[in-house]
Structure 1
Amino acid sequence: MIRSLYTAVSGMITQEAKQDVITNNLANVNTVGFKGDNLAAKQFDEVLLYNYDKKVHGKNVRQNIGNISLGSRIDDVATNFTQGTIERTDKPFDFAIEGRGFFVVNRNDGVTGNNFYTRDGHFHINSRGFLVNDSGDNVMGRNLRSGAVEPIRLEDDKATVDVNGNIMVNNTLTYKLQLVDFRGNNYNYKNLKKIGDNLYMGNNAREYNDITVKQSCLERSNVNVARETMELMTVMRTFETNSKVIQAIDETLGKAVNEVGSVR
């Protein structure tokens, strides 16, 4: 009886975690470049039940009854990196990546700070002339004169960017957007971690020249509202079912204690 109570409670905990993931997806449906998450659950290791009620030659012997599951648990929260819809904005410093790849931004001074990765290409020029994201992080690029990777600084706000990320000002190539991917990691983004502000942290990022950039465009969130809403309804019904199971178990335990236990 107690085992069944634990099983139902573990189910409620899992459904509550799923609800948190789904509501976060729905809250970011209009966030540029946002990638939705999926929560995977798995069952606890099964437990073998047995007793010694069986008698052989007058002795009690072990008898296997079967396996029982002790409920579900959270396995992993995986991010879905499928392409979002690319929409034109006609703003010169909006950029979208078509296919694989990430922009690189640097927090703090662009030199000693940490590099992070994002699909959110909603950039603008700050008061000091640096290209930054909405959080004020420096957008990194390769200086085509010195060859150094540094924060992109533009003297003119009328820059054009080609599909390879090359930035041209007054018909002069100045920078190339630093575009990276994680193809050395078995072609997946399994080790990338969301850190907030629509940024990711990860290792083994490598620059690639075959990443396609579109200027004056933004990649929309890849969250499917209809699917997430259906998932949310399923989670709520499952949570409610587990709650009713716990209520039934509680009533049964109450009868066992108050009625069966009081019989003399």
Structure 2
Amino acid sequence: MLTALWRGAGGMRAQQVQVDSLANDIANVNTNGYKQARVNFADLVYRPVAERGMPVDHPQAPAQPPALGAGVRVAGIVKDFSQGTLAQTGDPLNLAIQGEGFFTVIDQAGNRYLTRDGNFHRDASGNMVNASGYYLRGSDGNPLNLPPEAEKIAITPDGTITGVINGASQDLGNIYLCTVANPNGLEAVGDNLFRETAASGQVFYGMPGAPGVPIPGAPVAAGTTGPLGTLCSGYLEAANVDLAVTMTKMIVAQRAYELNSRTVRVADEMWGLANNLRR
């Protein structure tokens, strides 16, 4: 009965994490470039179940000895990096990635982050920044700067930026995309940003639509990835959260939590009956 209590409590803890994760997905349903999370569960160690006492005979041993599991635990929480729908905004500096890859942004200290949120605009100095003020990284590794006098800015699917200055069309720079060997190893740090970790592996970069190559300065200087995604100017990528599916999962998690709590209550009642036995 004590083991039933612990199993029920462990199940309640696991389903609480599931509900918290689903609630976070629902809260971010309108967050640009948000990627929903998936909670993975794993069963705990199994313990053999054997009858105690003196056997009256010697039956043949079963092919598979009976065993009971010790409950459930949260094995991990991973991001689903599937494509979100594209919403048209009409602003040429709003960018969405159609396919694989991330935008690379840097903060004032030069720290590098990855993001799928392409809601960029020009600051007072002409730098392309996101809503939090992080600089969009250009193909040369520096913040991408657009002359304040540039008009009619256009961005092609391969990341080429053009604009009109003094009546003449000019090339203003290029946007490169970045990817990693294992996107699920990235660390989410808030503000729609991800940070590279040892688990995310090799970092690659390149022109949109072209294969990625190892980023300069990386410890591994060989190999390529598949083609990076292309850019859609005037669009933003919406969260990939399906509200109908997420709400269904929320109901299932709620029912699972309820059943685990009922397990605890039944075990408590059985324990009470055993404690109140009379001769």
Pairwise TM-score range, normalised by the shorter structure? 0.7 to 0.9
Give the TM-score normalised by structure 1: 0.87
Q: Measure the CA separation in 2 of the matches of 1:107 and 1:67.
A: 54
Other-structure match for 1:254: 272
- Note if contact 1:138-1:151 (Cα within 8 Å) is conserved in structure 2: yes
Asked if residue 128 in structure 1 is aligned to residue 125 in structure 2, the reply is yes
Displacement of 1:192 in angstroms is 1.5
Asked if residue 150 in structure 1 is aligned to residue 169 in structure 2, the reply is no
- Note if contact 1:86-1:220 (Cα within 8 Å) is conserved in structure 2: yes
Matched position secondary structure for 2:49? strand
Q: Measure the CA separation in 1 of the matches of 2:5 and 2:96.
A: 50
Asked if residue 190 in structure 1 is aligned to residue 187 in structure 2, the reply is no
Q: Measure the CA separation in 2 of the matches of 1:160 and 1:29.
A: 29
Asked if residue 214 in structure 1 is aligned to residue 226 in structure 2, the reply is no
Other-structure match for 1:238: 256
Give the TM-score normalised by structure 2: 0.83
Provide, for residues 1-30 of structure 1, a one-character-per-residue CA deviation record: whole Å limited to 9, x for no partner.
Answer: 111111111110010000011000000111
Provide, for residues 40-70 of structure 1, a one-character-per-residue CA deviation record: whole Å limited to 9, x for no partner.
Answer: 101002111234413369x9xx999620011
Instruction: Provide runs of 4+ in structure 1 moved above 4 Å.
Output: 62-65
Matched position secondary structure for 1:55? coil
Correspondence 1:101-180 to 2 at 5 A: 101-109=101-109, 113-142=110-139, 148-156=140-148, 158=151, 159-170=153-164, 171-180=169-178
Asked if residue 199 in structure 1 is aligned to residue 196 in structure 2, the reply is no
Letter in 1 for 2:104: V
Report the aligned-residue RMSD.
Answer: 2.0
Matched position secondary structure for 2:108? coil
Structure 1 range deviating more: 150-159 or 208-217: 150-159
Matched position secondary structure for 2:45? coil
Matched position secondary structure for 1:206? strand
Other-structure match for 1:145: none
Q: Which runs of 5+ in 1 are unaligned?
A: 143-147
- When the two structures are aligned, how many residues end up with a matched partner? 246
Q: Which runs of 5+ in 2 are unaligned?
A: 210-228
Letter in 2 for 1:134: A
- Note if contact 1:51-1:65 (Cα within 8 Å) is conserved in structure 2: no
Q: Measure the CA separation in 1 of the matches of 2:263 and 2:106.
A: 51
Q: Measure the CA separation in 2 of the matches of 1:107 and 1:72.
A: 41
Letter in 2 for 1:176: N
Structure 1 range deviating more: 172-181 or 80-89: 172-181
Matched position secondary structure for 1:53? coil
Q: Measure the CA separation in 2 of the matches of 1:126 and 1:180.
A: 23
Q: Identity of counterpart residues, as a percentage?
A: 28
Displacement of 1:204 in angstroms is 2.2
Letter in 2 for 1:107: D
Provide, for residues 176-224 of structure 1, a one-character-per-residue CA deviation record: whole Å limited to 9, x for no partner.
Answer: 1131122xx2xx4221221111111124221122230011111111100
Kindly indicate which of the two structures has a greater share of residues assigned to strand.
1
Matched position secondary structure for 2:55? strand
Displacement of 1:244 in angstroms is 1.4
